[in-house]
Structure 1
Amino acid sequence: MADRDFLLWPFLEPSHRAWAEEVEAWAGAHAERLSAGDTDTAVRNLTRAMGEAGLLRVAVPEDGRLDVRALCIARETLARHSGLADFAFAMAGLGTGSVTLFGDPALKRDTLPAARAGAALAAFALSEPEAGSDVAALATTATRDGNAHWRIDGSKTWISNGGIAGTYVVFARTGEAPGARGLTAFLVPADTPGLSIVERIEVSAPHPLATLRFDGMRVPDTHRLGQPGDGFKVAMATLDVFRATVGAAALGFARHALDLTVARASNRSLFGGPLFDQQMTQAAIAESAVDVETSALLVYRAAWLKDSGTPRVSREASMAKLHATESAQRVADRCVQIHGGHGVVRDHPAEKLYREVRALRVYEGASEVQRIIIARAERDRAKGAA
């Protein structure tokens, strides 16, 4: 059983501790079972089951208040049990987060209840073939088509839930200003004429991913999120909420890997005694434990700051994501090493964790981009203190 002492930290409230027990009970009973088989079907089943259990009320809140600490607790807990369960929960939140934060009342009424119930899947379509971390380089365009519609042309790729989502939040260039200041966000139903799935993308840890194409796709102006030109603000505000939760997922994977490492070291004999008795093994376990604890502190610090009303937590969320994902990769690697040959056998728990963790260092801003964000924030802090 993974360490749960962090629930007593002052970052968290009694409601968060109760929520952690609720998610743990559901995940222990259902997450692994529902994650088996075809990936698309598993994500649909997991989303539906979490909706029916009421867990998606945190990812898609009825009152519009996204509790980042609760989101982090859910992702950490689910990731310990099943990477696909974490994915399904995360996409319910990320795919609807822009609507929760910027949608008008009618759009919220039409979109969010089904997502909250787990009856509809959602996606966040920002990345493009030539523009991933550099949002200012987006090439997809949206031009006025009469007074009440927009015409969108272009493509998106690496879109999670692509091909199975019912709605996509799409970011396109509308040209109010150069670069990132000339983008607008739209909510697009999956059956909109002109939207097509060009390719389903297979990755090392199976998740639904796709490349989308927009050919003269007409979207009503009522599906716009925020004002024209506010797309970058919409994207960054959404990521500001969910970036720390990526660190929480990495933390969940790392806790699982540490548990596996300690169990293997304790039960495996080497040179006439437990593998644990080797000093190098103890050093690996100690380093992993420190990686887990420091990640937890950064993740829940960032979440607490956001929930406390701090307007922007880009620096803290980037620190949490960077450290937690990089640390989780080290913890998973040590886990594989301690398991020896078993650790590289396809679908062994240690091998699966190694593959699951790797993608977290790339999506929602690669580690290199997080370093840039942090460094710029430090420069700005230094200027402000001068």
Structure 2
Amino acid sequence: MPAFSLEPEQIAWCAELRALAADRLAPLAARGEPGRVNRPLLTELGRLGLLDRLFTSGAVDLCLMRESLARVCTEAETALALQGLGAHPVHAHGTPAQRARWLPRAADGTAVAAFALSEPGAGSDAAALALAAAPDGPGGWRLTGEKCWISNAPEADFYTVFARTGTAGPRGVTAFLLPADRPGLTGEPLDMLAPHPVGRLRLDAVPVTADDLLGAPGEGFRVALTTLDLFRPSVGAFAVGMAQAALDATLAHTARRDAFGGKLKDLQTVAHQVAEMALRTEAARLMVHAAAAAHDAGAPGIPRRAAMAKLLATETAQYVVDAAVQLHGARALHRGHLLEHLYREVRAPRVYEGASEVQRGIIARELYRDLPAAPATAPQEEAR
């Protein structure tokens, strides 16, 4: 797929997704409880075949789904994304037995998945995680510690959990598939700004065996990073969808709102602001499409491209939603207004799956890694 355009079939599919979100998903989302897993919504996503596409399609399809749903129903978008984030390591790294047990239920929405990486002392610095996996007999471990800010916790049915089985740093991390009914696993929900289900997990000598490994011991950080390389551009797609929803609302509002003897859109400052919102939204969309297409093609520089897409799109969405609130005035601050909802939703993506500062670090690291080695004696810069 060219990075700068969509095929007619893809455009039609996105329109179909928006219609389904409005007709079938938004009513279920409205009946959900903020901060709790909405199982009827997840089941409907499975019935529509969207969850299955998380495991049968690539990054481009994932981005198209997330942007399309986000423009209409952010709750549906988030339910889909969290299911994919939690279950993708099982799809990509699980054993045949693990895949047979959990992926069909993840795809039909009857089992809720979660990705348990962050900890109270290891958020952005994921390599610093401290959840301990102590050896327990031949081929077994006991997990002890905490996970925090885990989406879908503590209500998920299974977790991809990352624990330290070796020395400090990335090479000592191992990934496990942890069913929620294991003894010693408890948790509680957290009251967050955005209405997503987010919670804390406590693990008190939770037993795991070699059958629960996702990948080999010590390869957990690779499991985490390959998952994030896929999902980071799609976080950008979520952000682009919110930005487009805010832009659509602003166009409609400024075209009909009377102000200073004309319509609000006739004021040059307003028109220029709207143009800037549209420009930044489209630029972010193009970078997301380019990163997703590069991922699916196996092109070089995937971590850098993914980080750039997430960084630009999430920062852009924050700007666009904030500008939309400003142009709408006080009405946008009423509880229940679309922009009040988007204003709360748009802040979190700049933090989760690597904060904006982390993305800048990844970009810089990858740029310097690709830099040709300097000669032993650098030539003096020419005099000017």
- Give the TM-score taking structure 2 as reference length: 0.93
- Are residues 377 and 9 of structure 1, via their aligned partners in 2, closer, same or farther at CA, if it must alter by over 3 Å? closer
Q: Which position in structure 2 is the counterpart of 1:248? A: 237
Secondary structure in structure 2 of the residue aligned to 1:159: strand
Structure 2 residue 46 is the aligned partner of structure 1 residue 55: no
Mapped to 2, the partners of 1:30 and 1:8 lie a distance apart of 31
On the 8 A contact 2:67/2:239 being kept in 1, the answer is yes
Specify whether residues 173 and 45 from structure 1 end up closer, same or farther in structure 2 by C-alpha distance, changes over 3 A only: same
Q: Which residue of 2 aligns with 1:34?
A: 28
Q: Which segments of 5 or more consecutive residues in structure 2 lack a partner in the other structure?
A: 376-384
In 2, Cα distance between equivalents of 1:259 and 1:276: 13
For residues 166-200 of structure 1, what are the alpha-carbon distances to aligned partners after superposition, in whole Å with 9 as ceiling and x for unaligned?
0000000000x431110000000011101001x31
The correspondence for 2:39, drawn from 44, 50, 62, is 44
Shift of 1:378: 1.6
Match of 1:23 among 2, 17, 22: 17
- Of the three residues 120, 124, 133, the one matched with 1:129 is 120
Of the candidates 123, 137, 152, which is equivalent to residue 143 of structure 2?
152
Partner of 2:194, secondary structure, is coil
Q: Which amino acid aligns with 1:287?
A: E
Query: Shift in Å at residue 16 of structure 1?
Result: 3.7
What is the aligned partner in structure 1 of residue 350 from structure 2?
361
> Is residue 40–residue 164 contact of structure 1 (8 Å, CA) maintained in 2?
no
What is the one-letter code of the residue matched to 1:27?
A
CA–CA distance in 2 between the matches of 1:342 and 1:333? 13
Deviations 1:224-258 (A, max 9, x none): 00010001100001101111100000000000000
Q: 1:167 aligns with which of 141, 152, 158?
A: 158
1:192 match = 182
Opposite residue 287 of structure 2, the aligned amino acid is L
Aligned 1:335-374 pairs, distance under 5 A: 335-374=324-363
Shift in CA distance, 74/194, structure 1 to aligned 2, threshold 3 Å: same
Determine if contact 2:128/2:168 at 8 Å carries over to the other structure.
Answer: no
Task: Indicate the larger mover: 141-150 or 247-256.
Answer: 141-150
- What secondary structure, in the 3-state scheme, does the structure 1 residue paired with 2:246 have? helix
Task: Select between 134-143 and 121-130 the one with higher mean Cα deviation.
Answer: 134-143
Write the distance in 2 (CA, Å) between the matches of 1:159 and 1:324: 22
- The one-letter amino acid paired with 2:175 is A
Matching residue within 291, 297, 303 for 1:308: 297
2:315 — aligned with what?
326
The change in CA–CA distance for 1:13 and 1:108 in structure 2 (over 3 A counts) is farther
Relative to structure 1, the CA distance from residue 28 to residue 179 in structure 2 (aligned partners, 3 Å threshold; closer, same or farther) is same
Query: How many residues of Structure 1 are paired with residues of Structure 2 in the alignment?
Result: 374
> Given the alignment of the two structures, is residue 181 of structure 1 paired with residue 171 of structure 2, yes or no?
yes
Partner of 1:232: 221
SS of structure 1 residue aligned to 2:280: helix
User: Secondary structure of the equivalent of 1:383?
Assistant: coil
Between 1:75-84 and 1:35-44, the stretch displaced more is 35-44
| Cα deviation 1:64-122 (Å, max 9, x = unaligned) | xx410000000001111111111100011101011111101111001100000111110
- Aligned-partner SS, 2:145: strand
| d(CA) in 1 for partners of 2:339, 2:18 | 21
Contact 1:193 1:217 in 2 (8 A): yes
Specify the code of the residue in structure 2 equivalent to 1:183. Answer: V
Q: Which one has a bigger Cα radius of gyration?
A: 2
Q: Kindly, what percent of the aligned residue pairs are identical? A: 48
**Cα distance in 2 between the residues matched to 1:336 and 1:330:** 10
Give the equivalent residue in structure 1 for 2:380.
none
Kindly report the root-mean-square deviation, in angstroms, between the aligned alpha carbons of the 2 structures: 1.8
Tell me the SS of whatever aligns to 2:30: coil
Question: Is the alpha carbon distance of 1:230 and 1:287 closer, same or farther for their aligned partners in structure 2, counting shifts above 3 Å?
Answer: same
Deviation of 1:221 after TM superposition, in Å, equals 1.3
| Distance change (3 Å), C-alpha of 1:9 and 1:132 | closer
Assess, with a 3 A threshold, how the Cα gap between structure 1 residues 385 and 91 changes in structure 2: closer, same or farther.
farther
Per the alignment, residue 280 of structure 2 pairs with: 291
Which secondary structure state, in structure 2, belongs to the residue aligned with residue 229 of structure 1? coil
Partner of 1:3: none
- 2-structure distance, mates of 1:327, 1:161: 26
Structure 1 position 382, deviation (Å): 2.2
Q: What SS does the corresponding residue of 1:239 show, helix, strand or coil?
A: helix
Paired residues of 1:152 and 1:214 also in contact (CA < 8 A): yes
- Secondary structure (helix, strand or coil) at the match of 2:370 reads helix
